[in-house]
Amino acid sequence: MKSEDELGDWRRSHYSTQVTPEIDSEQVTLFGWVSSVRTQGGITFLIVNDKEGMFQVTTVKGRESDELLEKVAGIGEHTSIGVKGTVKKIAKAPNGAEVIPSQIKVFNHAEKPPFSVFGGELPSIDKRLDIRSVDLRREKAQALFKIQRVLQRSLRSFFDERGYSEVRTPKLISTATEGGASLFSVLYYNRPAFLTQSPQLYKEELTLPFEKVYEIGPAFRAEESRTQKHLSEITSVDIEEAFVDYNDVMDTLEALIKRAAAEVADGCAREFEKLKRAPVAIPKSFERLTYDSVVNEVGARRSGISWGDDITGQDVEELGRTHGSFYFITDWPTAAKPFYIRPKTATPKVSESFDLMHGALELASGGTRVESKAMLVKRLKEQKLKPQAFEYHLGVFDYGMPPHAGFGLGLERLMMVLTGEQNIREVTLFPRDKLRLTP
């Protein structure tokens, strides 16, 4: 067993990206994980990664002490280390400077991972996910999750600036909102309960005290199909707002996406370079197609589609090709939408609803909500749901429920579109699907 050091009173003075020619000759304390070791004629180069980037540590036989050289000889890829030393300007090193060490601490030696994180051929995503926290050290993964951080910050500041209150609603619930088929049951003490599929009912109720709310939180879907765009645990970006309708929330959603895409493109130029991709193109305005017009469009291409059918499979692929980037499909048949979506007063067969699409991928859905208790009871019955199961929710409608509207946006799906990733698992830290509950 190789000896390992303790952190003691060592604390970081700089991150890797701050090791530049401007701080030539300064004393620094750095930490990180070794990503490569190369020895050439008595000179050893260690490349060490931290969360910001990488720095180089160089030792020379005869210049550094034997004790230090011996320590360096025991270091391999992934070893976690601390380095105290002097910065030396040198053109060939990352950021134009290297560190000449006076002391090195080795915290943990590392096994060789089952695949190389620092270049070389990658195994299947399933093999990588089995050791996800090591896989996340890959430069590409680092870039993706940096983009996700910038995205989340952008979403939050958009909502905060516009006066939405951030809320957190229960994830253990007693009644389903988005259809029974995709529901996870759990045992809540000794009675049945479920994992929430969306914050739908709570966010609607919260328009009563707060008017405008948003939540970025987990939602659970027991999806049977294991596809590139479905997970069993997602992050849902939800809003709900009083005294507006679906047209207003479509405007809000469009503005949100445009701003998030712009901030991600501005703030993550280096990350897009690492991904070797350009930020997603954002149209001047998002087309709004009614469901009727989509049915006509599909009907012009193939026979057999009738009003009321869902738009799926090949038809969505084709729509995606025709309408390209972001577009809305609005005014869906009432029967195709959940009970809380408001039917149009003049044409109740049609609802005040929308889906936001990017190509063939659904990013969000939303609508104006039913605000009348009698109508909500009727809609529940039409959908073969028991009003008694929604007693608490219906009770709130006795106390001045305002007209309201909102949407739910899948964060991982938005990440797929912003980064050009094809598999939703790549943009999820620890993805869950029918076959995966670990790590």
Q: Which spans of this chain sit near ligand AMO (rule: CB under 6 A)?
A: 178, 198, 200, 221, 223, 230-231, 234, 236, 238, 362-367, 406-408, 410, 412-413
Write down the least CB distance from residue 263 to ligand AMO, Å. Answer: 20
Write down the least CB distance from residue 7 to ligand AMO, Å. Answer: 40
Give the nearer residue to ligand AMO in terms of CB position, either 72 or 234. 234
Give the nearer residue to ligand AMO in terms of CB position, either 47 or 341. 341
The rounded Cα 200 to chain-centroid distance in angstroms is 20
Among all residues, whose Cβ is closest to ligand AMO? 410
Write down the least CB distance from residue 67 to ligand AMO, Å. Answer: 54
Write down the least CB distance from residue 239 to ligand AMO, Å. Answer: 8
Give the nearer residue to ligand AMO in terms of CB position, either 101 or 366. 366
Q: Judge whether 58 and 98 are in contact, CB under 8 Å.
A: yes
Give the nearer residue to ligand AMO in terms of CB position, either 231 or 385. 231
Write down the least CB distance from residue 162 to ligand AMO, Å. Answer: 17
CA nearest neighbour of 81 among 100, 64, 105: 105
The C-alpha atoms of residue 92 and residue 89 are separated, in whole angstroms, by: 9
Say what angle helices 246-267 and 411-419 make with each other, to 10 degrees.
50
Give the nearer residue to ligand AMO in terms of CB position, either 279 or 408. 408
User: How many Cα atoms are found within 13 Å in the side-chain-facing hemisphere of 121?
Assistant: 2
Give the nearer residue to ligand AMO in terms of CB position, either 134 or 394. 394
User: How many Cα atoms are found within 13 Å in the side-chain-facing hemisphere of 245?
Assistant: 9
Q: Is the dihedral of CA 290, 257, 310, 317 positive or negative?
A: positive
Task: Name the CA radius of gyration of the chain, rounded.
Answer: 27
Write down the least CB distance from residue 362 to ligand AMO, Å. Answer: 5
Q: Strands of 359-402 (E only): list them.
A: 361-368
**Burial of 71 per CB tally in 10 Å (0-12, 13-18, 19+):** buried
Q: Which amino acid is at 180?
A: G
